[in-house]
Structures are given as C-alpha cells and as structure tokens.
A = this chain, B = another copy of it.
Amino acid sequence: MEFSLIDRIRQRTAQSRDDVRLGIGDDAALLAVPSGQELAVAIDTMVEGVHFPRDTPAADIGWKALAVNLSDLAAMGATPAWALLALTLPRADEALIDGFADGFAQLAQTYRLALVGGDTTRGALTISVAVHGFVPPGKALTRAGAQVGDAVLVTGTLGDAASGLQLLQQRRRGDAQSNYLIERLNRPTPRVAAGLALRERASACIDVSDGLLADLGHICATSGVGAEIEAALLPRSSALLDLFDDVSSRGFALSGGDDYELCFTVPPQRVASVQADLARLGCGATRIGRIVEGEGVKVRDANGQWLESAHQGWDHFRA
C-alpha cells in the first residue's frame, strides 16, 4: 500500500534533482543541501472536516496539502526543494489516491519539488506534509524585524477562501464568481516567487493562513510593535465584492483564514519598487496600513472610526 501510493506520486513528480542522493524506497532519503544555503523546514496538517469540507475533490486535497506548506516556505523567502508526505486514509481508495496524487504532483512540478519520503497509514483522512527549502544564511524573512513607520502590505486579495467556504456550506456554486472563490479555497497559490522577491527588502513577513488580524498580530508580537490597518484599503476580489455586502466581505478579508497570501512590512521608501516587482510577478501587493508603537492590530473604517477588534483568527480547537 505504502509504496503504491507514494509511487503514484513519485511517478508523476519524477524530478532529476542532483541534491537527492537517495529518494523514496529506503528507511530514509539522503539529501545534499547546496553549500552556502540554510535549510528552511516546516510541517502542516490538514484534517478532513476541519481544514477542508468532506466532499472536497481529491485532487484539490492533494494540491492544498502541498500548497499550505509551500506557503510557509514562501513566507520565509525560501526556494522549495523537497517534501515528505504522511497520508492517513480510511481505506485503500483508488480514486482518492489517484486524485490526490494528481493534485499534489501538479503543484510539485511547478517548483521542481521532489517527494523524497512518505508514509501511508489507515485512519481518519489526515494529511501531513513537511517541506524543505533553501535560503542563503541570514537572508530569510521572519516575523521579527517590523519597524515603527514601516508600511504593511499584502499580496493578492483577502477573504476569498473564507467566502468560498461559506458558499460551499450554503451549497451555492455553479456561477463563475462562486466557482472562483471556491477555487481560491481549494487551490490556493503559494506566493513563492513573491517571497523570493521580498528577500533583503521586507522587514518582516508571514503567510495569511489564520486570517489577516491573527497573522499580522504574530508579526506585531514577534517584532514588539503594533499595526494600524485601513479597512477601506483591504484588497478584495470583484467576485467577493459582487457576492457579499461590504461588512461581510470586510469580515472575510480581516479574519478569514486559508488565503495563503503574504502579509509583510517594508520601509516606506521601498513600497513603490516592491509593488512594481510584485505586480510583474502577477500577484501584486496592496498597502493596507502601517507599523506603529505599541502592540496589537487596530482597524480603522472608511470614516476614520476604530472598529472593535472582535475579529480573531481561526482556532480549530474553539467550538
């Protein structure tokens, strides 16, 4: 079982990477980190019914399981290299396995990422992926380093994934806008190229997995600063704005998880050049606020009124 699944993915992702000295099939893989590079490593888990709805297409599950991990590498400014996959599934379901392998491999090939190890076990559908990437020593983006006066930016648009989840739960789909938002939920785009472009330019960076307020809050806590956000500046897709009213779409953009955009801080004088470069990369970057003294994230509406900070990020252990 183990080899048949892992082999299916390996066949689809066959990468002749010189740094993989021994791939799948032994007790461990043997890998060579290029000299002069540090290793960035992260692990993330997705559980059916918690991180994705039960009827999510298998290919989307495979894609997303890798995407959320690549997003962690993107947030560090690291170049993806290798992944390990631990897949737990209720039974040897051929369609699920093939679909999963298709989606996982499709994204892996984009980054010439090699699957170097895996384990397949029986149980409730749960996927853990560990990813490894390279970054020059001292050049990684972290959550620390945001300075008072820095601008706060985000790539892409916010709130799409959370609105897509609501559409799925309300069984609203079929039209192009709903499908777009659901696709944003199921097939997030890790901002790997943006993360690389931000090295030596952003003072701090994080990916928006738990929601903007929660994740920007992590930057503030780690950097020892506060942040002020202008709600009117939050980048929202036309699909989101068409299907939801202003208050709902703002809520999704502030607190919705699963967007996997990058939230980062840069000194004001670098904003224009960073925005130009990220526009060329296709995702763009919107300035949404600034770093201030103090702590926590405050949000001001279009009238200059502070919003109550009732919005929080996702906590999968909350009721």
Contacts and interface: CB of A to CB of B under 8 A. Distances in A.
Contact of A142 (B22, B76, B88): B22
A130 interface: yes
Give the top 9 A-B pairs by smallest Cβ distance, nearest first: A47-B123, A124-B124, A28-B42, A27-B75, A86-B128, A128-B128, A43-B84, A28-B40, A27-B72
Interface of A: 1, 21-22, 25-33, 35, 38-51, 71-73, 75-76, 78, 82, 84-86, 88, 91-92, 116-119, 121-124, 126, 128, 130-133, 135, 137, 140, 142-144, 205-207, 222, 315-317
A124 B121 contact: no
A254 B93 CA distance: 30
Q: Is the interface of A mostly helix, strand, loop or mixed?
A: strand
Contacts of A44: 86, 119
Given A27-B207, A42-B29, A117-B42, A88 B126 contact: yes
Given A123-B50, A128-B128, A39 B45 contact: no
B76 A28 contact: yes
A207 to B, nearest CB: 6
Contacts of A121: 45-47, 50-51, 126, 316
Name the residue among A51, A123, A206 with the largest chain B CB count within 10 angstroms. A123
A304 to B, nearest CB: 33
Nearest to A131: B28
B33 A33 contact: yes
A248 to B, nearest CB: 26
A91 to B, nearest CB: 7
Given A1-B317, A28-B76, A50-B123, 16 more contacts: A1-B316, A21-B38, A22-B142, A27-B71, A28-B41, A28-B42, A28-B75, A30-B38, A41-B117, A50-B122, A86-B128, A91-B317, A121-B126, A122-B316, A124-B126, A126-B126
Contact of A206 (B27, B128, B133, B140): B27
A282 B38 CA distance: 37
Given A124-B123, A222-B25, A39 B50 contact: no
Contacts of A39: 30-33, 39
A288 B1 CA distance: 28
Nearest to A21: B38
Given A126-B124, A137-B32, A76 B27 contact: yes
Contacts of A116: 41
12 contacts: A21-B38, A26-B222, A27-B42, A27-B143, A28-B131, A30-B40, A44-B86, A122-B317, A123-B124, A123-B126, A124-B126, A128-B128
